[in-house]
Amino acid sequence: MNKGRIISIVLGVIGLLLVFNSYFILDETQQAIVTQFGKPIGEPRTSPGVNFKVPFLHKVQFFDKRYLEWDGDKNQVPTKDKKFIFVDTYARWEITNPLQFFIRLRDERSAQSRLDDILDGETRNAIASNDLLDVVRSTNRDPEVTEEFMEELEVLEDISVGRDKIEEIILEKANERTTDLGVRILDFRFKRLSYVDEVRDRVYDRMISERNRIADQFRSEGQGQARIIDGNRQRDLAQIQSEAFREAEEIKGRADAEATDIYASAYNKNRQSIELYKFLRTMESFEKSMDESTSIVLSTDSEFFRYLRKLN
């Protein structure tokens, strides 16, 4: 191979390298800036398609154009009313100015670290400025009452701010601190709020106390109803017994009257039979009460003497 051919091949390779290194392609999800010796050159490239640069002298820094995710760490934060809670948060953000983003932050890793400082700090400030109720609740809604007896038992305290408003405040404050970073926070939310062990125990104690109070009220109402029912029962029982006694006495009275009528009728119809019956009963009584060795003394006005005289 002669020298001229070698030179041609080398020049061809160099030409190809120059051509391939003189352009770059952006897709719909990317944006970029061109740097020279580490300093940005020109305006950011945000339109998808083919873009040109100086071969080997210029370098391209690519950045994501899509919405990016920020996931905060779970931190223990005190509320205004001195209640400690664990707060877990997340947010969505985007790069709005690639040039400013590159100057201030360089890459997404640095941006995530910077967002940690901003969002965690604003979260602490917002929670420390509000009571626990405002952090965990969003509205002053009326509690759902599933039974009529619960209407006076469940009472929710009113809140002045609410969780949604606190999230809006954190988002607004955080965006004020990111205006010179070339990024914009799109959304911020509390992913989870949970009590620390000490607060959780106090909450459980309060729940138990409240339920015990409700149970005591139920027992008190039940005992009152039981006394009312027992009083009604005793009253009804006394009334029933009184009516039954009255009815029984009336039946006895009618029976005695009928028996008297029967006795009088029988007595008037057969007086001799009655006398005979009395005599026989008297004799039976003497027969049972005396034997052969018994001696008796009768007066002239005794019933037995009267019967003996009639026999003679």
Say if 222 falls within a structural domain. no
My answer on whether 40 and 95 are in the same domain is no
pTM for this predicted structure: 0.60
pLDDT recorded at residue 250: 85
My answer on whether 167 and 286 are in the same domain is no
My answer on whether 87 and 22 are in the same domain is no
Say if 47 falls within a structural domain. yes
My answer on whether 118 and 172 are in the same domain is yes
My answer on whether 91 and 39 are in the same domain is no
Last residue of a domain, one of 46, 63, 80: 63
Name the β-bridge partners of 90.
Answer: 71, 189
Which residues 6+ apart lie within 8 Å of 59 measured at CB?
Answer: 34, 35, 36
Number of helices followed by number of strands (H, E) in the chain: 8, 9
My answer on whether 55 and 87 are in the same domain is no
pLDDT recorded at residue 217: 84
Which residues 6+ apart lie within 8 Å of 98 measured at CB?
Answer: 31, 32, 33, 44, 46, 61, 63, 182
Last residue of a domain, one of 14, 30, 63: 63
pLDDT recorded at residue 113: 93
pLDDT recorded at residue 260: 78
Containing domain of residue 185, as a range? 68-195
Say if 93 falls within a structural domain. yes
Contact 67, 93 (CB under 8 A): yes
Last residue of a domain, one of 195, 216, 233: 195
My answer on whether 109 and 28 are in the same domain is no
Total domains in the chain come to: 3
Question: 248 φ, ψ to 5°?
Answer: -65, -40
Intra-chain end-to-end CA distance of the chain, in Å: 191
Q: Is the dihedral of CA 135, 140, 143, 148 positive or negative?
A: positive
Say if 158 falls within a structural domain. yes
Contact 194, 85 (CB under 8 A): yes
Q: Which residues of the chain have pLDDT under 70?
A: 1-21, 142-156, 264, 266-277, 279, 286, 288-291, 298, 302-312
pLDDT recorded at residue 196: 76
pLDDT recorded at residue 25: 84
My answer on whether 13 and 105 are in the same domain is no
My answer on whether 75 and 163 are in the same domain is yes
My answer on whether 28 and 95 are in the same domain is no
pLDDT recorded at residue 154: 53
Say if 148 falls within a structural domain. yes
Say if 167 falls within a structural domain. yes
* CATH at 79: 3.30.479.30
Q: What percent of the chain has pLDDT over 70?
A: 76
Kindly report, residue by residue over 261-308, the tens digit of the pLDDT: 777 676 666 656 666 667 677 777 767 666 677 777 767 776 666 666
Say if 286 falls within a structural domain. yes
Say if 240 falls within a structural domain. no
My answer on whether 59 and 87 are in the same domain is no
My answer on whether 24 and 125 are in the same domain is no
